[in-house]
């Protein structure tokens, strides 16, 4: 029996999503809670839509777990029991039997991240300091949006990714837009079919370089075209990044979408623990 979980977490205290031998992770925290609450004979093992990096947060994370067929699944009481078993910085928002063909990772059509910056002289609200990056120089949002146009679409994002032998860096970037909110936060929305490791934070490094006037907007497209890491592109701090949403197709398309994603990304990347979003 495959079960879908919708999760939210503050990543500040965790060494990312993926389970690690000597460091706390979101994956281990949720798996241990599931194993305890359901009294499983074997530890629960989660598959996640986006393997967020150290310090990255999530409001709309999705995972699945395969459980014994004879297990009684009563979602509302189970969510309440998990809430008591989990720390305050991790929440299971919803839990339900997954539709046939559902794979939290490979069935996903797109992921939406938001990166938040504060570019005023004084720092952001102290209550939000773990979710907003204080940028010391003012940013030109219009220039950032001009730069973003040059990297949209299906491209090889090797210039913005940590490369792994045998793993593709081709992704389809569907949205990269920046706005200044009413509360003066500089907020960049990034949407793609998937992301390679450090891609979002590297894109943000290039955008902020343009936004503060160190490069003209056309520079970002030239970096992309070089297909190699550029030392002038800073990987921005993790705590400004939040996974906001994972979007899936209609139930009838779930299995086909998963097969398409596996075929495109290849067997090595399909099995990799580092196919990380950020």
Place of tokens 């690690």: 20
Distance CA 49, CA 159 (A): 23
**Angle 10-145-51 from CA coordinates, rounded to 5°:** 30
Report yes or no: 169 and 266 within 8 Å, Cβ to Cβ: no
Q: What does the DSSP 8-state code read for residue 12?
A: G
Distance CA 139, CA 201 (A): 16
- Helix, strand, coil percentages for the chain (3-state, nearest 5): 30, 25, 45
**Angle 262-249-48 from CA coordinates, rounded to 5°:** 55
The H or E element that residue 148 is part of is: helix 141-149
* 277: Cα within 13 Å, side-chain hemisphere: 32
The H or E element that residue 35 is part of is: helix 26-38
Specify burial of residue 212 (Cβ count, 10 A radius: 0-12, 13-18, 19+): middle
Q: Is 119 a catalytic residue?
A: no
From the candidates 6, 22, 32, 53, give the one annotated as an active-site residue.
53
**Residue 89 tokens, joined:** 């910085």
Enumerate the active-site residues: 53
């Amino acid at each position: 029996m495959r079960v879908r979980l919708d999760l939210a977490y503050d990543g500040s205290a965790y060494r990312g999503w993926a389970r690690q031998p000597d460091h706390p992770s979101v994956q281990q925290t949720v798996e241990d809670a599931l194993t305890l609450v359901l009294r499983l004979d074997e530890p629960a093992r989660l598959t996640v839509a986006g393997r967020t990096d150290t310090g990255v947060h999530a409001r709309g994370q999705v995972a699945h777990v395969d459980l014994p067929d004879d297990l009684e699944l009563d979602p509302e009481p189970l969510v309440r029991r998990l809430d008591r078993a989990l720390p305050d910085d991790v929440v299971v928002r919803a839990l339900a039997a997954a539709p046939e063909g559902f794979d939290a990772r490979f069935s996903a059509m797109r992921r939406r991240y938001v990166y938040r910056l504060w570019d005023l002289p004084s720092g952001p609200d102290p209550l939000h300091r773990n979710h907003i990056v204080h940028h010391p120089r003012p940013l030109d949002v219009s220039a950032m949006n001009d730069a973003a146009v040059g990297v949209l679409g299906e491209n090889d994002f090797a210039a913005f990714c940590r490369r792994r032998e045998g793993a593709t860096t081709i992704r389809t970037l569907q949205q990269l837009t920046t706005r200044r909110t009413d509360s003066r936060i500089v907020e960049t929305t990034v949407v793609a079919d998937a992301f390679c490791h450090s891609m979002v934070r590297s894109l943000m490094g290039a955008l902020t370089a343009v936004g503060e006037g160190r490069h003209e907007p056309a520079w970002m497209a030239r970096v992309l075209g070089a297909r190699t890491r550029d030392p002038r592109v800073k990987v921005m701090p993790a705590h400004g990044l939040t996974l906001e949403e994972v979007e899936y197709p209609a139930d009838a398309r779930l299995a086909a979408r998963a097969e398409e994603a596996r075929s495109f990304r290849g067997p090595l990347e399909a099995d990799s623990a580092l196919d990380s979003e950020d």
